[in-house]
Amino acid sequence: MKVKALMFAAVVATGATLVAAEFKPADVLVYTRWQYVKNQKTGEVAKGGTAPWSKPYHHESTEQGAEEVRRYFTANGLSCLVTDDPAVFTSGAMKTFKAIMLCNCNHELFENAEQREAFYKYVENGGGLVATHSSSACERGDKRFHDFLGGAFERHYRMMPVKFSRVDAKHPAMTMFPQGSVWEMDEVYLNHPDETGLRPLMILDWKDVEPKSRKTDKYGCPKIGGHVLEWCKTYGKGRIFYTALGHRPKDWGKMEWQLHLFEATKWAMGERPDNVEVKTTTAKVRTTIEGVECVKDGKTVWKFNIANRENKPFVHPLCLPDGRCFTDARPADHPWHLGLWFCWKFINGLNYWEPRGPAAGNLFPDGMTVVKNFKIVPKGGACDVQLSMWYGPRAQPGKVLLEEERRVQFTAPDAKGGYKIRSTHVFTARDDVKFDCRRPVGYGGFSLRMATMMREFKMSGVGGEPSHDKNVGGPKEMTAVRYVDPKTGHGIEVKELAPLETERIYTWSDHRFVNPMPIYEKPLELKPGERFTLDYEISVF
């Protein structure tokens, strides 16, 4: 299904003149056009592969990828316009774009020469461009586009694991892809780049290409010595970034991929330097009896406790770059608080949050949370953890009201010791389910209990300011909360990436607890089979 973001185009009643489409201003244009193919000899346009010379290929990841980009970029301060309408290139909205992303575009990008010239002029005059995967196959047969982008599609290999044999670690968009790391699977594009006009950022050595797929006699870059998967270059005053990765829909939801595209876009906009300081990190992820932890220079950076007595996965300790732990687990005043964790409050009237009776005598609430299975995928200093869970009444063992697929992604600590945690939760009802907020105590969901030292940190909101009235969340416009140590500058940020309409961020005035409450405003009811997603990001800096 096409993803549109234009408002409308009107036809003047007195004639056939078409008024220019009105597009909403945005920082980034996410362009998804793929379905049109032009016969380079005759200029004839065909749609849907109806002509023998036109076989347009639509990547399933195009629209999903665009939506993932829009959601992540918007949550991080960059507004996005998603459209496949080429009229956008001659609209007034062009003046507002700081960058354009060709999101797995394919074949002809434009309908006329005016749109094409507006696109080239935009970049030439200083606009940024990020192009992904099949975008190198656009404007086929047009050498101008080949020279402009820095390369053109020749063919592709079959799907295979991709080892990042050589990575330009100095480029700000490459910090999340350590040299020697392996991308699980992709359709490796063989582009024919200009060996002298670009900066190779990621190179796949020929020895790492499956033998049955290699054709080094016809393709390749002798001077570079391998297959260039990613590169950047300049065009006039503009910056261009290209990646051959991005074929599979599920990869667009990966944290490292979204960070990669975000940093590439910031670089293309001129908001990141050409080079960053590179320091070798000693961080390493290792499994433990309880779950998995990251250790750097012999000290724990974070620890994800999956197997625990409460049967609720939680992260503790969580440490700042200077080594101080900022989380608190099982504190005396609220022993069911577990550092960084997720827990519902009321489901169908049962409490899943607090234990029954005195906590010392009974650790278990009436509602039961169960980890069915989990998978830990270490990646050097980074880690990807996937969990399958269910929720049901403790008095009825085996009765499943709600299922959850959770994904917790940790980035490797950067040169300054900072890192990010992405926590994504997909819930599916297996019975009639009612999440009750029971105001004024409407807490529940994704939560962070912090150490006493956080009282000294300066707290501020993003999009609005926190309210410190008892059991009252911040304004709906507030999408994140920051805590910064005025002495060192270190701190954290808790951010909503996909909040529900009813969600509000609640904070304690003494800075020791933050909770984006999914059902703050009113209860949420689901029928069997209905689902929703919650998505959060913790930045440690």
pTM for the whole thing?
Answer: 0.80
Cβ neighbours for 314, distance < 8 A, ≥ 6 positions apart? 304, 305, 308, 329, 338, 339, 340, 341
Using DSSP bridges, classify how beta strands 28-31 and 99-102 pair: parallel, antiparallel or unpaired.
Answer: parallel
Return the residue matching tokens 């101008």: 144
Q: Which amino acid is at 444?
A: G
Give the E-state strand segments of 244-366 in sequence order: 284-287, 291-296, 299-305, 314-318, 340-343, 346-347, 350-351
Return the residue matching tokens 């080239």: 120
Comparing C-alpha atoms, which of 35, 33, 57, 59 is closest to residue 45?
Answer: 35
| pLDDT at residue 447 tops 60 | yes
Backbone angles phi, psi at 537, to 5 degrees: -140, 135
Distance of alpha carbon 328 from the chain centroid:
27
Contact 370, 391 (CB under 8 A): yes
Residues 265, 134: Cα–Cα separation, whole Å: 18
Residue 11: what pLDDT? 29
- Average pLDDT over all residues of the chain: 85
Contact 131, 148 (CB under 8 A): no
For the stretch 499-528, pLDDT in tens is: 888 888 988 878 899 999 888 878 899 999
Lowest mean pLDDT among 17-26, 211-220, 259-268, 433-442: 211-220
Residues 203, 222: Cα–Cα separation, whole Å: 12
Return the residue matching tokens 């830990």: 376
Query: Where is pLDDT greater, at 49 or 535?
Result: 535
Q: Which residues of 244-268 are buried (b: 16+ CB within 10 A; e: fewer)?
A: bbbbbbebbbbbbbbbbbbbbbbbb
Query: Where is pLDDT greater, at 43 or 446?
Result: 446
Residues 23, 363: Cα–Cα separation, whole Å: 55
Helix (H) or strand (E) holding 266: helix 255-268
Return the residue matching tokens 């409308």: 8
**Angle at 317 (CA atoms; ends 328, 255), nearest 5 degrees:** 115
Residues 440, 66: Cα–Cα separation, whole Å: 38
Give the E-state strand segments of 401-503 in sequence order: 402-410, 419-429, 433-436, 445-449, 458-462, 480-484, 491-496
| pLDDT at residue 216 tops 50 | no
Cβ neighbours for 181, distance < 8 A, ≥ 6 positions apart? 163, 164, 379, 380
Q: For the chain, what is the total number of helices (H) and then of strands (E)?
A: 4, 34
For the stretch 244-270, pLDDT in tens is: 999 999 899 888 999 999 999 999 999
Contact 65, 115 (CB under 8 A): no
Backbone angles phi, psi at 336, to 5 degrees: -90, 0
Residue 53: what pLDDT? 44
Residues 171, 174: Cα–Cα separation, whole Å: 6
Domains defined for the chain, CATH in brackets = 6-151+233-268 (3.40.50.880), 284-540 (2.70.98)
Cβ neighbours for 244, distance < 8 A, ≥ 6 positions apart? 133, 136, 186, 188, 189, 191, 228, 229, 230
For the stretch 96-138, pLDDT in tens is: 999 999 999 988 899 899 999 999 999 999 999 999 999 998 9
Helix ranges (DSSP H) in 344-394: none
| pLDDT at residue 275 tops 60 | yes
48-57: long-range pairs with CB below 8 Å, 24+: 54/107, 56/106, 56/107, 57/106, 57/134
